[in-house]
Amino acid sequence: MSRRFLFLSVVGALALGGCATIPQPLQGNYAPVALSAAQSGTASATPVRWGGEIIQAEPREQQTCFFVLAEPLDSQARPKPGEESLGRFVACKQGFYDPEVFAKGREITVTGTLSGTVQHKIGQFDYTYPKVEANNIYLWKPRPMYAAAPYPYGPWGPWGGFCDPFWSTWGCGWGGPFFYPPRVIVVPRPAPPPPPKK
**HEC readout, the chain:** CCHHHHHHHHHHHHHHHHCCCCCHHHCCCCCCCCHHHHHCCCCCCCEEEEEEEEEEEEECCCEEEEEEEECCECCCCCECCCCCCCEEEEEEEECCCCCCCCCCCCEEEEEEEEEEEEEEEECCEEEEEEEEEEEEEEECCCCCCCCCCCCCCCCCCCCCCCCCCCCCCCCCCCCCCCCCCCCCCCCCCCCCCCCCCC
Residue 79 maps to a domain: yes
Residue 197 maps to a domain: no
Question: Percent of the chain having pLDDT more than 90?
Answer: 55
Residue 14 has pLDDT above 70, yes or no: no
CA distance 108 to 73: 10
Q: pTM of the entire structure?
A: 0.66
Residue 195 maps to a domain: no
Question: Percent of the chain having pLDDT more than 70?
Answer: 64
What is the tally of structural domains in the chain? Answer: 1
Residue 66 maps to a domain: yes
Residue 131 maps to a domain: yes
- Strand 87-94 relative to strand 63-70, pairing: antiparallel
Q: What is the average per-residue pLDDT within 64-72?
A: 97
Write down the pLDDT at residue 41.
81
Residue 183 maps to a domain: no
Q: For residue 40, give the CATH number of its domain.
A: 2.40.50.140
Name which residue leads in pLDDT, 20 or 130: 130
Write down the pLDDT at residue 15.
47
Domain of 101? 22-139
Q: What is the average per-residue pLDDT within 163-187?
A: 52
Residue 102 maps to a domain: yes
Write down the pLDDT at residue 106.
97
Residue 13 maps to a domain: no
